[in-house]
Structure 1
Amino acid sequence: MRAALSFARADLTDDDGWAEAVSGCTYVLHVASPLGVATGSGRDAYVRPAREGTLRVLSAAVDAGVRRVVMTSAAATTRPPLASGLVSDETRWTDPDDPQFDNYRVSKILAERAAWAFMAGKQTELATVLPGAVFGPVLAADNLGSVRIIGDLVAGRPRFLPRLGFWVVDVRDLADLHVTAMIAPEAAGERFIAAGDFQWMGDIAATLRTGLGPDGRKVPTRRLPTTLVRLLAPLSADLKPLAPLLGRKFALTSEKARRVLGFAPRPVSTTVIDCARSLIAAGGR
């Protein structure tokens, strides 16, 4: 009897193991991208493994005759220039040299561009899913990525809230969308933004304070003026890449994913509270 689940080892920075990993596969979901790169590392430390790793996955999938690859990109790959007034949708391609983007987001932009260029004319199909800020229940308290924002708030950090906002998507809804994009015939050759509602950090903090009961007692409530944050941003490794986003709510639509694939994100309050409770249970606050 064939096992329902098996494992293979492969590395985005190495050619070895990819042929074996995709052998016999009908579909491939490429969800990995470098995130925890050492502070101070240059742009290439993010871009090279993201772009070259993507091409390794795609090359192996094409050689193995995989029917379709679904790649996780980022909603930022559709974001227009600051103050342009334009809406982010799947028809837009972000300029990787726009100074609003940090190295991680540049790596997502260039990796997705490389993916579409490589797959042009190939028999294997490609679809990409472009999530906003991914929150929701965690399996472990390490390598938290964007979920660290929730963990920090529960722990009382930062003491004062900057006016930063996020288009939130629940990790469970994102996983479901990947599966739908994998099997739906109409998803072939398409990009799909995955985002629910927009939330300011202050809104998220308020949800945590009211929804967690005693576990939310440390969540900060005081706001930090945007002008002051902008003055402090150059001095902080965490704030510096976020400075262009202070006080800005970008127009974004996930209408295509809703219409074509039936994407129906759950309420942000549910996502945030479930995320926090899972972090508390895992010891990640």
Structure 2
Amino acid sequence: MTAEQPIVVTGATGFIAKHVIGAFLKRGYAVRGTVRRVDRADAVRSALARLGCDPSKLSFAVADLAGDAGWDEAVRDAKIVVHTASPFPIAQPSDPDEVIRPARDGTLRVLKAATGANVKRVVLTSSAVAIFYGSGLPAGHIYSETDFTDETRADLTPYIKSKTIAEKAAWQFAKTTAGAPELTVINPAFVQGPALDADLSTSHELYRLMARGVYPAAPRIRFPVVDVRDVAQAHVEAAVRPEAAGKRYLVGEGQLRLFELGQILARELPDLRSKVPKFELPDVAVRMLALFDNRMRTILPELGQQKDYINARIRGDLGLQLRGADEAATAAVRSLRDLRLI
């Protein structure tokens, strides 16, 4: 692979994707991002300008996960494809297939197009949720890349199922399809870090809800956390290092309770102190509220969960030293204020 051959990044308008594109551009690579509509390209360029990137090596192709059109052209001449595009709703849909189908089918569309174009490697953005929800695990289990979520569990949200099903479909495709690209998977934890524009991720929308005083109390849950800047570097290293082929990488550093996210918001922006959650709700109260609030249903699988994990592989194989959880959340909050979004 040469710096002139384009790195294709799908879902270029996404939070993670924009940081990934920026990381490749800063390494001197040409990048071709996919967008569903060509009029979204300028917004991506503007966001990348905040990272100090040179837009001259960035181009775009139009392709949608919901259809086959455009994907062959999008991956033409590429040796590396980074597939970040996948739906992540803040409120869970009544029909799980609204999330599952585009995640799974879109992943397979990208892999099929990459196979036809003789792409060498596909780096898939999965999620830590495809790791943390197994069945029959002992108390105190330490999670790693060897763990897979059991998507047949009845208590899982459509989003968790979608990420798990899509990743498993990708591994099956890579294993059974002649001429398939090498596959490497990045499994980020709850992604924090700086927003680049007003097209916010679900994780950033959470701060906006807190800043509006929507939740005077927080569920008693905690998340493994990662900074988006580290997620971006993980994608770059996974794309270029030979030893990354055929592996998954759990990317996270520390954990934060949802209540602590509110406290970080209050610490960094004291004018919002009166808006953030004041205490933690008992689990039974959360389950009752979820009957009326779709956003609450998203976090039901987290109640009572302890997700201790190891990230030795990301450090050893890819040589990354990750930012801490507090630093990642602080950067998220400060960026939202800088953008005048809270």
**Which whole-Å deviations, capped at 9, do the CAs of 1:181-223 have from their partners, x for residues lacking one?**
0001110000001111111112222222223343555323322
Q: Please tell me whether the aligned partners of residues 141 and 283 of structure 1 are also in contact (alpha carbons under 8 angstroms).
A: no
Other-structure match for 1:95: 150
251-260 or 217-226: bigger deviation: 217-226
Other-structure match for 1:105: 160
- Report the secondary structure of 1:257's partner residue: helix
**Which whole-Å deviations, capped at 9, do the CAs of 1:209-246 have from their partners, x for residues lacking one?**
22334355532332222332233322321112322322
Aligned amino acid, residue 290 of structure 2: A
Q: Decide whether aligned partners of structure 1 residues 13 and 105 sit closer, same or farther in structure 2, where only a CA change above 3 A counts.
A: same
Q: Does 1:221 align with 2:278?
A: yes
Aligned amino acid, residue 62 of structure 2: R
Other-structure match for 2:314: 257
Match of 2:172 among 111, 117, 122: 117
Other-structure match for 1:43: 96
**Which whole-Å deviations, capped at 9, do the CAs of 1:234-283 have from their partners, x for residues lacking one?**
23211123223223222222221122112322122221121112122334
Other-structure match for 1:273: 330
- Report the secondary structure of 2:106's partner residue: helix
Q: Decide whether aligned partners of structure 1 residues 188 and 264 sit closer, same or farther in structure 2, where only a CA change above 3 A counts.
A: same
Aligned amino acid, residue 76 of structure 1: V
217-226 or 45-54: bigger deviation: 217-226
- Report the secondary structure of 1:49's partner residue: helix
Other-structure match for 1:204: 261
How big is the shift at 1:140?
A: 2.1
Q: Please tell me whether the aligned partners of residues 216 and 275 of structure 2 are also in contact (alpha carbons under 8 angstroms).
A: no
Alignment of 1:12-31 (within 5 A): 12-31=65-84
Aligned amino acid, residue 115 of structure 2: V
Aligned length, in residue pairs: 285
Q: Write the distance in 1 (CA, Å) between the matches of 2:93 and 2:113.
A: 32
Q: Write the distance in 2 (CA, Å) between the matches of 1:261 and 1:14.
A: 34
Q: Write the distance in 1 (CA, Å) between the matches of 2:222 and 2:168.
A: 26
Q: Write the distance in 2 (CA, Å) between the matches of 1:177 and 1:13.
A: 27
Q: Write the distance in 2 (CA, Å) between the matches of 1:262 and 1:54.
A: 27
- Report the secondary structure of 2:223's partner residue: strand
219-228 or 8-17: bigger deviation: 219-228
Identity %: 37
Q: Does 1:145 align with 2:202?
A: yes
Q: Write the distance in 2 (CA, Å) between the matches of 1:165 and 1:83.
A: 19
Q: Please tell me whether the aligned partners of residues 100 and 241 of structure 1 are also in contact (alpha carbons under 8 angstroms).
A: no
Q: Decide whether aligned partners of structure 1 residues 215 and 129 sit closer, same or farther in structure 2, where only a CA change above 3 A counts.
A: same
Other-structure match for 2:229: 172
Other-structure match for 2:117: 64
Aligned amino acid, residue 119 of structure 1: A
Q: Write the distance in 2 (CA, Å) between the matches of 1:245 and 1:196.
A: 18
- Report the secondary structure of 1:70's partner residue: strand
With CA pairs under 8 Å and 6+ residues apart, which has the higher RCO, 1 or 2?
1
260-269 or 239-248: bigger deviation: 239-248
RMSD: 2.2
Which stretches of structure 1, 4 residues or longer, exceed 6 Å deviation after superposition?
none
- Report the secondary structure of 1:128's partner residue: strand
Alignment of 1:185-204 (within 5 A): 185-204=242-261
Q: Decide whether aligned partners of structure 1 residues 162 and 71 sit closer, same or farther in structure 2, where only a CA change above 3 A counts.
A: same
Q: Decide whether aligned partners of structure 1 residues 123 and 43 sit closer, same or farther in structure 2, where only a CA change above 3 A counts.
A: closer
- Report the secondary structure of 2:291's partner residue: helix
Q: Write the distance in 2 (CA, Å) between the matches of 1:215 and 1:252.
A: 33
Other-structure match for 1:53: 106
Q: Write the distance in 2 (CA, Å) between the matches of 1:265 and 1:216.
A: 29
Aligned amino acid, residue 98 of structure 1: R
Q: Structure 1: where are the runs of 5+ without partners?
A: none
Q: Write the distance in 1 (CA, Å) between the matches of 2:155 and 2:179.
A: 34
Q: Write the distance in 1 (CA, Å) between the matches of 2:276 and 2:90.
A: 28
Other-structure match for 1:81: 135
TM-score by length of 1: 0.92
Q: Please tell me whether the aligned partners of residues 151 and 276 of structure 1 are also in contact (alpha carbons under 8 angstroms).
A: no
